[in-house]
Amino acid sequence: MSTRGLIVAAIRAQRADARRNRDAIVEAARNVFDQNEHIRFDDFAARAGVGVGTLYRNFPTREELAAAVYEEEVAALCDQARDPARSAGENLDAFLRGFVEYVVAHIGLARTLAAVVDPAAQAEGGIELERTVADLLTRAASDGAIRNDVAVGAVMIVLHGIGSATDRPLWEQESRAAVELLLAGLRKAPS
């Protein structure tokens, strides 16, 4: 291999290594936030198995690290809505039910991120979720799986309500019931 080829291979390996380090930091932070642990910012590096310099090079502040976790969580939620093996109606069902199950399973993460992530980043995540819901509603209505007169805002209000009612004693069961009511209402023809 030529010298240039060796340099290019080294740069690619370094980039892949840097990406793995970044991913490890984000995963460590996700776990810490999900368990509602309170650790020093420098300790995220140790949890990720990287040096403190690597932590600061990728995320100069706790807020930037939390924003990265939040962005990845929103992306993961939205990605589950795009399974080409399912129909549009099935994708809508899976997304709405999956949203509840995700919040139930990761309530510590949701609370931590809500407290730490910059409101502008939260707004961007909300816009991405709303785009996903709008797309799901449009596709499901086009396929005839749901009625076509439901505004995306109505669905978003239900999802916001689920996320904000976590202090209720029967929140998990009530949230699942709320999504089932929403899905039944989406399928019911308007009178």
Q: What is the CATH number of the domain that holds 153?
A: 1.10.357.10
How many folded domains does the chain comprise?
A: 2
pLDDT at 53: 94
Which of 12-16, 75-79, 113-117 is the most confident on average? Answer: 75-79
Domain span including residue 151:
62-191
Last residue in a domain, options 29, 45, 60: 60
The three-class DSSP label of residue 18 is helix
Q: Of 167, 88, 153, which is closest to residue 182 (Cα–Cα)?
A: 153
Has residue 113 got a pLDDT over 80?
Answer: no
Has residue 11 got a pLDDT over 70?
Answer: no
What average pLDDT does this structure show over 117-139?
Answer: 89
The three-class DSSP label of residue 147 is coil
Has residue 124 got a pLDDT over 90?
Answer: no
What average pLDDT does this structure show over 50-73?
Answer: 90
Domain identity same for 82 and 45: no
Cα–Cα distance for residue pair 8/2, rounded to 1 Å:
10
Contacts with 121 (C-beta within 8 Å, 6 or more apart), sequence order:
67, 70, 71
Domain identity same for 70 and 7: no
User: For residue 19, what are the CA distances in angstroms to 13, 22, 26, 90?
Assistant: 10, 5, 11, 34
pLDDT digits (tens, 9 = 90+) for 85-99: 999 999 999 999 999
Q: Of 40, 125, 133, which is closest to residue 82 (Cα–Cα)?
A: 133
